[in-house]
Structures are given as structure tokens and as C-alpha cells.
């Protein structure tokens, strides 16, 4: 019989997110029905009154003001630290973007995966739901681990076409794959339930990525510790989405962090080959007139930019 976790911390990281909070908070009661949970909101120095809005809409929540825009990982770490200070016996952490809307029963479906008997199989460290966008279209949220083969396929035929073949693409693009529960190398990080065991084994998220690839790094680190990342189609949520494909600065950060993560895990020789393939991909898109890729190319060929610490100033200058 399934026993709900004794205590789940729901950690929401905000940055100028005041306009999103009412709908997110309104979805939690049914989305987390059957679970015992406490809300923690970590605000990264918003200028729109996000922290004040959170206190007004959720007076029972723990609101942490970090005092700086240190990025998504820094917000998660601050929120989890506050949650652990309030309840050291935490069972799991549900990390949410403020532009997520949980569907009824989402939390219980994710929690069941963490609680399943192991029978010699490595435990689930991170459980993620089936995501759709604001129009109800499936979001291809599962990913394969970065590899030279996948980078090559991405450069030659594009991420979505390569992703139709599971071993060839980093994005799992076949809609049929999202109809069954399965393990994945990593997943889009807007909605994820992390077990306390996983958090203890892996430690805090790597704040040096600022934004993008921080969930990749954490999920791959969980797999290094012998834990699984599990896609759970019975758990459903809406993710309104961000600006990474339209903002030159954010796209450049996404691309640069992919190269940095791969190099950190696979070494400089393979990292150089990966960089070359990513550069080729961005050059081909730049020749087609994509401003985001033109900006990314300028950064990829700049040793100074690629080695500089990531942060809001880095994005603004990209």
C-alpha cells in the first residue's frame, strides 16, 4: 500500500515572477492532493514584488529572499536549505518553475515512483511528469546524455529530426515515447520531484551554470550515484515556457553551458570535438539569418567569453 511521504518541500524559484504566482499556487492544492507538503519560495532579487506577492498569496509559505540574482540553481539551493532547516527529516523536494501549473494528482503519481520497491534495481532519485504547453501540445522533455554522436546528428539534421531515433538525438522527439513510464538520462527541469536520498547523495546543485544545463548536470550526477531519473506519464503538468529560443543572450548561455558541461564530464579532447560540432550547428543556423545563432557563434569562438563566470552580466553582454 502506498504511503504518502511525511514531508515534501515544494521549492519555487522566482525572478520577476509576480504575475505567474497566483495561477501556480492555485494549482497546488489539487496537484498535490494526498501529499503532505510545505511551500518554500526562493526569490532571486526580483524587481516586481515577487516576494511580497508570495507572502500575500501564501502567508503560510517560507519565503527566502536571496538578495541577488544568482540563477536557478542558487535559488533551488537556498530554498532547500530553508526547507531542511524547518524540517530536517524531509522526504523529498518538488522543484517547480513559477510558470508551471500542476494537473490534479500530479504529485502523488510522482511520489509513487520514488516509493516503489527496488528489488535490486537502483532507486528513482528524480521523477518528472508529462508536460504540455499552454495550448496543450506535448513538450518533448526527455533527453539523452550529451554525446559526440548526438551533437553530430544535431548539427547535420537538426535536434528534432535526430530525436526521432532514440540513440541518435539528445531530445526524445517521438510522441509515442511519452505514453509509457521509463527511465531517461535527464529531463527538462521545470517540474521534478527529488528524493531526500538523491539530495544527500548528490549535494546541492552547481550554481556556476546560472541558467541552463544545471538540471542536466544534477541528473547526470544522480545517475553517477546509481540513482535513476524516471519519466512518469501519469503525472501531468503545464509548462508555459521561456525565452531561450528567442532571446540571443539566453540562447547563447544555453549553447555555451552545453559545451562547458560536456567538457567537464568528458575531458578537453572530446570537449574540443563537441565544441566544433556545436559551432558548426550554430554557424549553419547563423547563415540562415538566425540572430540567436549569430550571437552564439561570437561567444563560442571567444575564449574569454567561454571561460568567464556565468551570471546576469554575462547574459546581458552576450
| DSSP codes, 177-225 | GGGS-EE-SEE-TTEEEEEHHHHHHH-S--GGG-SSSHHHHHHHHHHHT
* Helix or strand (DSSP H, E) at 232: strand 228-239
What is the pLDDT at residue 242?
61
Domain boundary among 215, 239, 263: 239
Stretch 114-137: mean pLDDT: 87
Per-residue pLDDT for 4 more than 70? no
Q: What is the dihedral of CA 310, 76, 141, 117, to 10 degrees?
A: 140
Higher pLDDT, 266 or 154: 266
Stretch 185-204: mean pLDDT: 95
Higher pLDDT, 302 or 163: 302
Task: Note whether 93 and 220 are same-domain residues.
Answer: yes
Domain boundary among 239, 264, 279: 239
Task: Note whether 157 and 262 are same-domain residues.
Answer: no
Other CB atoms within 10 Å distance of the CB of residue 229: 25
The answer to whether position 69 is within a domain reads yes
Per-residue pLDDT for 120 more than 90? no
Task: Note whether 83 and 176 are same-domain residues.
Answer: yes
What is the pLDDT at residue 37?
95
Task: Note whether 160 and 267 are same-domain residues.
Answer: no
CA 178, CA 280: separation in Å to the nearest integer? 30
User: Residue 90 belongs to a domain with what CATH number?
Assistant: 3.90.550.10
Task: Note whether 128 and 260 are same-domain residues.
Answer: no
Per-residue pLDDT for 118 more than 80? no
What is the pLDDT at residue 155?
86
What is the pLDDT at residue 156?
85
Q: How confident is the model at residue 165 (pLDDT cuts 50, 70, 90)?
A: confident
Per-residue pLDDT for 132 more than 70? yes
pTM score > 0.85 for this model? Answer: yes
267, 261 Cβ separation under 8 angstroms: no
The answer to whether position 3 is within a domain reads no
pLDDT tens profile 276-289: 999 999 999 999 99
54, 67 Cβ separation under 8 angstroms: no
Average pLDDT, the chain: 93
What is the pLDDT at residue 244?
59
Range of the domain at 174: 8-239
Task: Note whether 299 and 199 are same-domain residues.
Answer: no
- The closest of 164, 153, 145, 142 to 278, measured between CA atoms, is 153
Task: Note whether 124 and 268 are same-domain residues.
Answer: no
Stretch 51-63: mean pLDDT: 97
What is the pLDDT at residue 53?
97
**Domain count across the chain:** 2
The secondary structure of 281-308, three-state, reads: HHHHHHHCCCHHHHHHHHHHCCHHHHHC
The answer to whether position 1 is within a domain reads no
CA 244, CA 246: separation in Å to the nearest integer? 6
What DSSP character marks residue 262? H
**Phi, psi of 91, deg, nearest 5:** -95, -30
CA 60, CA 39: separation in Å to the nearest integer? 8
Stretch 124-138: mean pLDDT: 96
Stretch 124-151: mean pLDDT: 95
Tell me the three cell numbers of residue 237.
503538468
Percent of the chain at pLDDT exceeding 70: 96
Lowest mean pLDDT among 45-59, 158-172, 215-229: 158-172
CA 115, CA 119: separation in Å to the nearest integer? 12
Sign (positive or negative) of CA dihedral 121, 170, 279, 273: positive
CA 178, CA 269: separation in Å to the nearest integer? 35
The answer to whether position 20 is within a domain reads yes
What DSSP character marks residue 83? H
Tell me the three cell numbers of residue 146.
550529451
Task: Note whether 188 and 261 are same-domain residues.
Answer: no
Stretch 61-81: mean pLDDT: 97
Inter-axis angle of helices 214-224 and 72-86, to 10 degrees?
60
CA 90, CA 57: separation in Å to the nearest integer? 24
Higher pLDDT, 3 or 129: 129
Domain boundary among 239, 268, 298: 239
Q: What is the DSSP string of 1-48?
A: -----S-EEEEEEESS-HHHHHHHHHHHHHHTTTS-EEEEEEE---SS
The answer to whether position 2 is within a domain reads no
What is the pLDDT at residue 240?
92
Per-residue pLDDT for 99 more than 70? yes
Task: Note whether 200 and 53 are same-domain residues.
Answer: yes
Inter-axis angle of helices 18-31 and 50-57, to 10 degrees?
30
**Phi, psi of 212, deg, nearest 5:** 75, 135
What is the pLDDT at residue 115?
74
Task: Note whether 288 and 215 are same-domain residues.
Answer: no
Task: Note whether 270 and 151 are same-domain residues.
Answer: no
Per-residue pLDDT for 245 more than 80? no
Task: Note whether 252 and 221 are same-domain residues.
Answer: no
Amino acid at each position: 500500500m502506498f504511503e504518502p511521504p511525511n514531508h515534501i518541500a515544494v521549492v519555487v524559484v522566482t525572478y520577476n515572477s509576480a504575475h505567474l504566482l497566483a495561477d501556480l499556487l492555485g494549482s497546488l492544492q489539487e496537484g498535490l492532493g494526498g501529499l503532505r507538503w510545505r511551500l518554500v519560495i526562493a526569490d532571486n532579487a526580483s524587481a516586481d514584488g515577487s516576494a511580497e506577492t508570495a507572502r500575500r498569496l501564501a502567508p503560510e509559505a517560507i519565503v527566502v529572499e536571496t538578495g541577488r540574482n544568482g540563477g536557478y540553481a542558487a535559488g533551488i539551493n537556498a530554498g532547500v536549505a530553508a526547507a531542511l532547516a524547518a524540517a530536517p527529516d524531509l522526504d523529498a523536494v518538488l522543484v517547480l518553475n513559477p510558470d508551471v501549473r500542476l494537473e490534479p494528482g500530479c504529485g502523488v503519481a510522482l511520489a509513487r515512483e520514488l516509493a516503489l520497491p527496488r528489488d535490486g534495481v537502483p532507486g528513482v532519485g528524480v521523477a518528472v511528469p508529462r508536460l504540455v504547453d499552454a495550448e496543450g501540445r506535448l513538450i518533448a522533455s526527455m533527453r539523452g546524455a550529451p554525446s559526440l554522436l548526438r551533437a553530430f546528428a544535431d548539427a547535420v539534421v537538426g535536434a528534432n529530426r535526430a530525436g526521432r531515433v532514440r540513440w541518435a538525438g539528445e531530445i526524445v522527439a517521438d510522441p509515442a515515447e511519452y505514453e509509457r513510464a521509463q527511465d531517461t538520462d535527464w529531463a527538462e527541469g521545470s517540474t521534478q520531484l527529488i528524493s531526500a536520498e538523491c539530495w544527500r547523495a548528490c549535494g546541492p546543485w552547481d550554481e556556476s551554470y546560472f541558467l541552463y544545463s544545471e538540471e542536466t548536470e544534477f541528473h547526470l550526477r544522480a545517475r553517477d550515484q546509481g540513482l535513476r531519473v524516471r519519466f512518469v506519464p501519469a503525472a501531468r503538468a503545464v509548462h508555459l515556457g521561456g525565452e531561450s529560443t528567442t532571446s540571443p543572450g539566453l540562447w547563447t548561455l544555453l549553447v555555451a553551458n552545453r559545451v562547458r558541461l560536456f567538457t567537464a564530464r568528458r575531458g578537453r579532447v572530446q570537449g574540443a570535438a563537441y565544441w566544433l560540432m556545436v559551432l558548426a550547428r550554430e554557424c549553419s543556423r547563423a547563415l540562415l539569418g538566425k540572430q540567436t545563432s549569430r550571437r552564439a557563434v561570437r561567444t563560442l569562438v571567444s575564449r574569454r567569453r567561454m571561460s568567464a563566470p556565468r551570471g546576469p552580466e554575462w547574459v546581458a553582454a552576450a
